[in-house]
Chains A and B, each alone.
Chain A
């Protein structure tokens, strides 16, 4: 067993100008600089990106799957948060 494994990093790439960074995968690297270099080689070989973010996986906090119900269920019955809930007659003009 080698002494120490390189930490895991999550990689986010902005595909085109104006779009958000999107998670594309992960890789191992010793530090941020190294992670960005590796991400460039692994995830942008076909022009997939114009910007790379890397975050050490250990620093990501995530919601727990067991809390899915209490977390997301309350949003289910709030149809009035969508524009289609409100019936506006055509006579009112473009809205």
Chain B
């Protein structure tokens, strides 16, 4: 997902009998559905995993503004521009809520930004694909935010209090994102033949990258068990991917478009759609830095960080000056 490949720093799932007494008490709290708060005891691995996961999620919200920001000045109408602007502004807020949640674990926002810029921290692979046409704004809102919602809704019940609360806020805002995307798609498929073709083309390009958002197949996600025991991961990758396909396939049909998968079909026996898994080799390439836009995205983040440095510093100096002046007057 937005945190689709969180490399655990621990050794995998620890059996109850091998736990330290304080870790056993901690696990009991989680099993009882209690929320863990910043100053509570937590095992080191829990803290480190959460920093990685929340950090990765936060970076995804921020980097995720870039592919859509690309189209704000090119939106076809003033209304669409206002919608998109509001959506992208929300994503900045989401990044902020999540950075703050991570900060309660003892890492600073600047540190996290630096870890993103020097490659120690990652962001979702989905944002390394280019947005080539206006229809991509439809596909991104509908599919990418749709997939994000599917992952974020259960995370509202995650064990770490600040993370769960950030998720509640985010989910509340997120549903308009998906709907504005679908709305764009509806306009495109009901437009000219060219516009409908653009909509199909956007779906073709974003379908598999959207499926990749849920992370590698369960048989390859080695770190899931511990994260699920800690309730910082609520469902397996494959569960959520299946749910996404099941919900999205009828929407595609409604739009009169075709999912680019010849083997996609409803399976009476399982009660789910059968579908083709994404190309995992491509996924691992993109997540490790070799996607179509990885370099551009990181350069854009780096430029914003560097170009903003003097502003951040000047704000501090100005505030100090103001405070000193105020004190002198008292």
Contacts and interface: CB of A to CB of B under 8 A. Distances in A.
Given A1-B110, A25-B169, A65-B40, A6 B93 contact: no
Contacts of B173: 46
Contacts of A2: 110, 309, 312-313
Contacts of A64: 39
A26 to B, nearest CB: 5
Interface in A22-39: 24-28, 30-31, 34
Contacts of A42: 93, 96
Contacts of B319: 30-31, 34
B315 A34 contact: yes
A31 B322 contact: yes
A25 B99 CA distance: 11
Contacts of B323: 31
B103 interface: yes
Interface in A4-51: 4-6, 8, 24-28, 30-31, 34, 42, 45-46
B39 A4 contact: no
Interface string A54-78: 0000000010110000000000000
Nearest to B41: A65
B25 interface: no
B110 A8 contact: no
Contacts of A46: 173
B61 to A, nearest CB: 13
A65 B96 contact: no
Given A31-B322, A62-B39, A65-B39, A4 B93 contact: no
Contacts of A34: 315, 319
A33 B37 CA distance: 29
A3 interface: yes
- Of A2, A34, A64, chain B has the most CB atoms within 10 Å of the CB of A2
Contacts of A27: 96, 100
B318 A65 contact: no
Interface in B40-65: 40-41
B100 A26 contact: yes
Contact of A3 (B39, B40, B316): B316
Contact of A6 (B169, B312, B322): B312
B62 to A, nearest CB: 14
Contacts of A25: 97, 100, 165-166, 169
B109 interface: yes
A5 to B, nearest CB: 5
Contacts of B41: 65
Interface of B: 37, 39-41, 86, 89-90, 93, 96-97, 100, 103, 108-110, 114, 165-166, 169, 173, 309, 312-313, 315-316, 318-319, 322-323
Given A25-B100, A34-B319, 13 more contacts: A2-B313, A5-B109, A5-B110, A8-B100, A8-B103, A25-B97, A25-B169, A26-B100, A27-B96, A30-B318, A42-B93, A45-B93, A65-B40
Q: Across chains A and B, which 3 residue pairs bring their CB atoms closest together, nearest first?
A: A30-B319, A31-B319, A30-B315
